[in-house]
Structure 1
Amino acid sequence: MSLFKVYARALRYLGAYKLRVSLVIIANIVLAAITIAEPILFGRIIDAISGKGEVKPILFMWAGFAVFNTIAFVLVAREADRLAHGRRATLLTEAFGRIISMPLSWHHQRGTSNALHTLLRACETLFGLWLEFMRNHLATAVAIVILIPTAMSMDLRLSGVLVVLGVAYWLIGRLVMSRTKDGQASVENHYHSVFSHVSDSISNVSVLHSYNRIEAETKALKSFAERLLQAQYPVLDWWALAGAMNRMASTIAMMIILVIGTLMVQSGELRIGDVIAFIGFANLLISRLDQMRQFATQIFEARSKLQDFYSLEDSVREREEPAGNSDIADVKGEVEFRNVSFRFGNTAHGLHNVSFTAKAGQTVAIVGPTGSGKTTMINLLQRVYDPDSGQILVDGHDTTKITRKSLRRYIATVFQDAGLLNRSISDNIRLGREGASDEDMRRAAEAAAAADFIETREDQYDTHVGERGNKLSGGERQRVAIARAILKDAPILVLDEATSALDVETENRVKAAIDNLRQNRTTFIIAHRLSTVREADKVLFLDGGRVVEEGSFEELSHSNGRFAALLRASGILTDEEVRKAHTTEAA
């Protein structure tokens, strides 16, 4: 993407404040015109003084312009600051909302830390561009456009020096950009590496402490930072060289203007005031060209950051739900998988031609070895992913034709990782149902056997759980998560190893609460503890992404198949019980 396209797209975000930005643009044009008038008026003052003419009117006009220019600049800068700060805040909120609403599959592919880093750096970069556009960029461009014709109307020869100076700045900028394009892109990649390493290390700090990896991770970060600097230094060297070349060009241009101006004054072709005006023009042009150089540097450095952000936003729009998807309502809870297949990328992992039906109110246990597709099946139900082929129906509705938001309104999930936010216990439980009363929230906690430990805390339900719930024990975190699902009161319940972090006594209490919760709800239980699936209406045994056995607990435990073998390996079923079952069936 060219620099112009990057910049133009950045400015389009200001369209949210069209009227206010338009007023700032008009003010910048006026200020630029006044800036050009000042050197001319100063030259007239010098001519009036040297010719012993009337000075006061021109002097007052010049002073009036200066005062107006100062006041107007402050007001424009103030409004520009407010606009840029306000737009940054709204963009951060808007982009955050769009990104966080993306399917989990998108987040898994993109990487959370990468998306976060891209968003934060882009917001700061766009803020800088918006601020400079409204403060300097526009005024600089307008000043240069007005300055050159004004200078030419006074004298073509001196104006030619200014034009050559402008061309020199442009050529130097083009040279440096072509030399540093790849280097700046490499710098951005290194920034991502540094941020990802920091984010990854901090989110797993307990593991680093446990394995004494603090020094090693710090050393690794130092290595990433050194590679960043190695990529950054050559870019900085080129821009430093550009600054030196620009300064040399401006000094030479000023000397030429002084020499030519002196000769022309001596020959009577120009007045002293005209030379003074041209010197003012030269100083003004040099300062504006320096601003343009800084602007070009700013855009050049911003390009990689903004291209990443633009790609992020485009990918978000591409993955947004079709406009035609409708909301589902009054879900009873019947779920059907009809020849569903799904693969992760080019791997064989996923599901293959899975079909089954769960009637409303039934409990379905999903068991099988690690990697057999149990969690994938539940993720497909909740539209974390969409099937490659086949259909998933809820109350007869194809889930790909209904909105994720409305579908998930009727599904309550208790994850193996409780997934608590760094907020109060009350806030975490209320995630289940926004606006729930204190009484409903406390009743849910009691049903999940969480009230006992909560009420022993000093702040009780206002206790903050810490990052990912690290101020609570594993069992406490799980009970809060179960309370959240109970409060949601959805017709479809998903328990992904919901009692895995609980001790035996607490598990029995929570199991009783879950048994009550399961009444009249379609429940899917992903379990490694096979004792938790004994009361399931249907058991699905998955292996390699396929349903290899299906039936009730009793049927499969007596079938001498894979499920029965797993029960024996777990000590839940003995070989003698299997033989008795077969003898009974034979009789």
Structure 2
Amino acid sequence: MTLFQVYARALQYLTKNRWRVAAVVVANIILAIITIAEPILFGRIIDAISSKSDVTNVLLLWAGFGVFNTVAFVLVAREADRLAHGRRASLLTEAFGRIISMPLSWHHQRGTSNALHTLLRASESLFGLWLEFMRTHLATAVAILLLIPTAISMDWRLSIVLLILSIFYWIIGVAVMKRTKEGQAAVETHYHQVFSHVSDSISNVSVIHSYNRIEAETSALKNYTKDLLKAQYPVLDWWALAGGLNRTASTVSMGVILVIGTMLVQQGKIRVGDVVAFIGFANLLIGRLDLLRQFATQIFEARAKLEDFFVLEDSVEERAEPTDARDLGDTVRGEVEFRDVSFGFSNTSQGVHDVSFIAQAGETIAIVGPTGAGKTTLINLLQRVYDPQQGKILIDGVDIGTITRKSLRHSIATVFQDAGLLNRSISDNIQLGREGATREDIVRAAEAAAAAEFIETRLNGYDTTVGERGNRLSGGERQRIAIARAILKNAPILVLDEATSALDVETEQRVKAAIDKLRQNRTTFIIAHRLSTIRDANKVIFLEGGRIAEMGTYDQLSRSGGRFTSLLTASGIVIDEDEEGHKLPVPAEHA
């Protein structure tokens, strides 16, 4: 994108407050025009003093302009600040909402810390551009357009010096931007690396402590910052050189104007007041040219940050729901059908292929298989984390690709292996299941999940803060809160993604009892490594290589002598035989 395109898109965010912004901009333009009158009045004062004329009226007018400019500037600057700060706060909220609504696949591909860093860096750049647009950008452009013809009308000979100076500023700015374009883009890449490293290290601080990686991680960050500065310094050097050249040029220009003006006064062609007024004009123009240079530098430095943010925004827009998407409704029975569903990941053979099965409303479906078989992918397709590349998934006969993600997920409750608790109170974490739930609803859900007893032993009870990712609770306590959350949601479809695999046997039994209550009258999908936990499933689907290798009841597959039987044996579950010689699975702890 060109600098103009970046700037134009940045200003589009101000359209929500267009009338207030327009009023501030117009006020600044008026102030810029009034400012031009000051050197003219000052020149009149000098002429009046030189000719010993009355200067009272001119002095009062000049003082009046000064007072008005000061008061007006404060009021306009205050309004511009409020608008810029308010719009930045709105942008953060709006962009956060759009980013967090993106599918998990998008977050996995881009990286959450990268998206967060892009948003924060862009919001600061946009804030600066909005503020300067309202305060100086248009006012500067208008002032320059008025200053040049006014200066020419005063004396064309002195104006040539200012015209040459303006051209010199423009040449220097263009040259430096060309020299530093790639360097500034590299700087942003290094900033992302620094932020990503910091975010990654802090989010895994327990591992870093455990493996004594504190010095190593700090040293790595130091190397990243060295690379950042190595890329940043040449860019800063070029802009420092540009600033020095511009300052030198403006100083030389003022000297030339003084010399030429002195000669013209001595020849009687202009008055001293005219020279004084022109010098005031020259100072104004040089100040505005400096602002213009700073403006160009500001957009140039912001371009790399904003281009990345615009790409992020566009990718969010591309994932927006189609306009004809409809709600699934509130009377979902929970019948789920996978019809010839296929989905594959790029650069890998993993995925699912030609998967077809039907889960009747209220049934429990267990999905098992070796690591990488496609179990989690299958569940992610059900929740539209990904969309099938072939085939359809239907709930109560409705293709989920035609309904909104919000209504789909309203009908699905998920209990993950990682409970996924927020650093809030126990009550707040359970209430995620249903917005607006009362304390009585929350307590009943906790009781149903066998969580009430440990919650009530806490000093603050349901108001106890669980810590980051629930680190102030045990694994079993975290899972029971997650189950309480799912109970409170009361969705017709339940997904248990290895919900007990990280628990000890005793805790698992308590959590399993809570899960059994939760499964009642719900279509349930269980991903499990511990095969003893799926004994009561209505249907077991054995996935291998992304395809359904075996499907049937638990007893049918355990007697088949196939892959599921082998998996039971490998899991330590003893296969006994009944009176008719049929093999029956018995958990190893009961053998």
TM-score by length of 1: 0.98
CA distance in 2, matches of 1:253, 1:568: 91
Q: Kindly indicate whether the alpha-carbon contact (under 8 Å) linking 2:427 and 2:442 is maintained by their aligned counterparts in 1.
A: yes
Aligned equivalents of 1:578, 1:245: Cα separation in 2: 99
Secondary structure class of the residue paired with 2:582: helix
Amino acid across the alignment from 2:376: T
1:376 aligns with 2:341: no
Structure 2: runs of 5 or more not aligned = 585-591
Aligned partners of 2:76 and 2:355: how far apart in 1?
64
Q: Give per-residue Cα distances to partners, 1:59-116, cap 9 Å, x unaligned.
A: 1111111110111111110000000000000010011111111111111111100000
Aligned partner of 2:537 in structure 1 is: 536
8 Å CA contact 1:360–1:521 kept in 2: the answer is yes
| Post-superposition offset of 1:574 | 2.5
Aligned to 2:15: 15
Instruction: Give, in whole Å, the separation in 1 of the partners of 2:27 and 2:337.
Output: 64
Deviations 1:388-435 (CA, angstroms, capped at 9, x unpaired): 000000000101110000000010000011111111110000000111
Give the Cα–Cα distance (whole angstroms) in 2 for the partners of residues 170 and 434 of structure 1: 58
Structure 1 segment 45-84 matched on structure 2, within 5 A: 45-84=45-84
Q: 2: CA distance between counterparts of 1:77 and 1:546?
A: 65
Residue equivalent to 1:581: 582
1:29 alignment counterpart: 29
User: What do residues 417-461 of structure 1 show as CA deviations (whole Å, max 9, x unaligned)?
Assistant: 111111111000000011111111111111111112111111111
Cα shift at 1:49: 1.0
Which residue does 2:218 correspond to in 1?
218
Q: Kindly state the Cα deviation for residue 576 of structure 1 after the two structures are TM-superposed.
A: 5.4
Give the 5 Å matches for 1:423-502: 423-502=424-503
Structure 1 residues 373 and 489: alpha-carbon distance in aligned structure 2, compared to 1, 3 A threshold? same
Deviation of the 1:571 alpha carbon:
2.4
Cα deviation digits, residues 311-362 of structure 1 (max 9, x gap): 1101110111211111111110000000000001132110000000000000
8 Å contact from structure 1 (residues 564, 573) kept in 2: no
Alpha-carbon distance between aligned partners in 1 of 2:572 and 2:293, rounded to the nearest angstrom: 76
Mapped pair 1:112 → 2:112: yes
Asked whether the 8 Å contact 2:173–2:242 carries over to 1, the reply is yes
Q: Are 2:336 and 2:394, in contact at CA under 8 Å, matched by a contact in 1? A: yes
Q: CA deviation at 1:139?
A: 1.8
Aligned-residue offset at 1:366? 0.4
Q: What letter corresponds to residue 508 of structure 1 in structure 2?
A: Q
Question: What one-letter code is carried by the residue in structure 1 that aligns with 2:22?
Answer: S
Q: Distance in 1 between matches of 2:580 and 2:43?
A: 113
Aligned to 1:273: 273
* Structure 2 counterpart of 1:396, one-letter code: G
Tell me, yes or no, if the aligned pair for 2:369 and 2:542 is still in contact at 8 Å.
Answer: yes
Within a 5 Å distance, the mapping from 1:136-151 to structure 2 comes to: 136-151=136-151
CA deviation after TM superposition for structure 1 residue 381, in Å: 0.2
What is the deviation of 1:501? Answer: 3.2
SS of 1:495 mapped into structure 2: strand
Contact preservation (8 Å) 2:575, 2:583: no
Q: CA deviation at 1:517?
A: 1.9
Deviation at 1:532, TM superposition (A): 0.7
Superposition deviation, residue 580 in structure 1: 2.4
Q: Which residue identity lines up with residue 213 of structure 1 in the other structure?
A: R
Aligned 8 A contact 2:577 2:583 in 1: no
Show CA shifts across 1:35-63 (max 9, x none). Answer: 11100110011111111222111111111
How do 1:520-535 and structure 2 match up within 5 A?
Answer: 520-535=521-536
Q: Distance in 2 between matches of 1:32 and 1:168?
A: 23
Runs of 4+ that moved beyond 4 A: 575-579
Q: Given that residues 340 and 353 in structure 1 are in contact (C-alpha distance below 8 angstroms), is that contact kept between their aligned partners in structure 2? A: yes
Give, in whole Å, the separation in 2 of the partners of 1:152 and 1:18: 35
Distance in 2, Cα, partners of 1:105 & 1:320 = 14
Paired AA for residue 523 in structure 2: T
Given the superposition, is the C-alpha separation of residues 207 and 462 from structure 1 closer, same or farther in structure 2, using an over 3 Å criterion? same
Q: For residues 90 and 578 of structure 1, do their structure 2 counterparts lie closer, same or farther at Cα, with a shift above 3 Å needed?
A: farther
Task: Tell me the CA shift for residue 579 of structure 1.
Answer: 9.2
Q: CA deviation at 1:142?
A: 1.4
Hey, what's the Cα distance between the residues in 2 that align with 1:456 and 1:123? 44
Shift of 1:582: 6.2
User: Are the aligned partners of 1:43 and 1:277 in contact in 2 as well (CA < 8 Å)?
Assistant: yes
Q: What CA distance in whole angstroms lies between the structure 1 residues aligned with 2:350 and 2:260?
A: 79
What residue is the counterpart of 2:333 in the other structure?
Answer: 332
* Partner Cα distance (1:547, 1:494) in 2: 19
Counting only pairs closer than 5 Å after superposition, residues 113-192 of structure 1 correspond to structure 2 as: 113-192=113-192
Please state how far the C-alpha of 1:505 moved relative to its aligned partner: 3.0
SS at 2:339's partner residue? Answer: strand
1:228 Cα deviation after fit: 0.2
CA distance in structure 1 between the partners assigned to 2:347 and 2:410 by the alignment: 32
Deviation at 1:572, TM superposition (A): 1.8
The CA distance in 2 between the partners of 1:370 and 1:39, in whole Å, is 79
Tell me what 2:358 maps to.
Answer: 357
Q: Does 1:93 align with 2:103?
A: no
CA contact (8 A) 1:557 1:578 kept: no
Offset from partner CA, 1:99-135 (integer Å, 9 cap, x none): 1111111111111000000000100111111111112
Structure 1 gap ranges (5+): none
Distance 2:3 2:223 in 1: 31
Quote how far apart the aligned CAs of 1:506 are: 3.1
Q: Secondary structure at the match of 2:384?
A: coil
> Residue in 2 aligned with 1:287?
287
Q: Which residue pairs with 1:519 in the alignment?
A: 520
Distance 2:229 2:176 in 1: 19
Question: Which runs of structure 2 are paired with 1:298-309 in the superposition (5 Å)?
Answer: 298-309=298-309
Instruction: Please report how far the alpha carbon of residue 502 of structure 1 lies from its aligned counterpart in structure 2 after TM superposition.
Output: 3.1
Task: Map Cα deviations across residues 116-164 of structure 1 (whole Å, 9 max, x no partner).
Answer: 0000010011111111111222221111111001111111111111111
C-alpha separation in 2, matches of 1:437 and 1:578: 54
Matched, 1:237 2:237: yes
Query: Per the alignment, in what secondary structure is the counterpart of residue 292 of structure 1?
Result: helix
The answer to whether the 8 A contact 2:44-2:58 is kept is yes
Which deviates the most, 554-563 or 130-139? 130-139
Q: CA deviation at 1:287?
A: 1.2
Q: What is the TM-score with the length of structure 2 in the denominator? A: 0.97
Q: Secondary structure at the match of 1:580?
A: coil
Q: Quote how far apart the aligned CAs of 1:578 are.
A: 11
Q: Is the 8 A contact 2:558 2:583 kept in 1?
A: no
Change over 3 Å in CA distance of 1:348–1:522 after alignment to 2: same
| CA deviations over 1:247-297 (Å, ceiling 9, x no partner) | 110011101100110111111111111100110011111111111111111
Alignment match, 1:38: 38
Query: Partners in 2 of 1:220 and 1:27 — Cα distance?
Result: 51
State the SS of the aligned residue for 2:550. Answer: strand
Q: Is the 1:415–1:496 contact (alpha carbons within 8 Å) kept by the matching residues of 2?
A: yes
Structure 2 counterpart SS, 1:150: helix
Deviates more, 1:139-148 or 1:195-204: 139-148
Cα contact 1:429–1:484 (8 A) shared by 2: yes
After TM superposition, give the deviation of residue 11 of structure 1 in Å: 1.1
C-alpha distance in 1 between matches for 2:141 and 2:561: 83
* Aligned alpha-carbon RMSD (Å): 1.3
Give the CA deviation at 1:575. Answer: 6.2
CA distance in 2: counterparts of 1:161 and 1:325, whole angstroms = 65
- Aligned partner of 1:125: which letter? S
Counterparts of 1:462 and 1:429, CA distance in 2: 11
CA distance in 2, matches of 1:475, 1:564: 30
In the alignment, which residue of structure 2 is the partner of 1:259?
Answer: 259
- State the match for 1:4 in structure 2: 4
CA separation of 1:579 and 1:128: change in aligned 2, threshold 3 A: farther
- Displacement of 1:508 in angstroms is 2.3
Question: Using the alignment, how far apart are the partners of 1:246 and 1:93 within structure 2?
Answer: 41
Q: Distance in 2 between matches of 1:383 and 1:444?
A: 27
Report the alpha carbon displacement of residue 510 of structure 1 after superposing the two structures with TM: 2.6
Counterpart AA for 1:409: H
Contact 1:568 1:575 in 2 (8 A): no
- Taking the aligned partners of 1:317 and 1:227, their CA distance within structure 2 comes to 34
CA distance in 2, matches of 1:557, 1:28: 81
Contact 2:184/2:304, CA 8 A, preserved across alignment? yes
Partner of 2:589: none
Partner residue, 2:588: none
Matched letter for residue 427 of structure 2: S
Q: Which amino acid is 2:138 matched to?
A: L
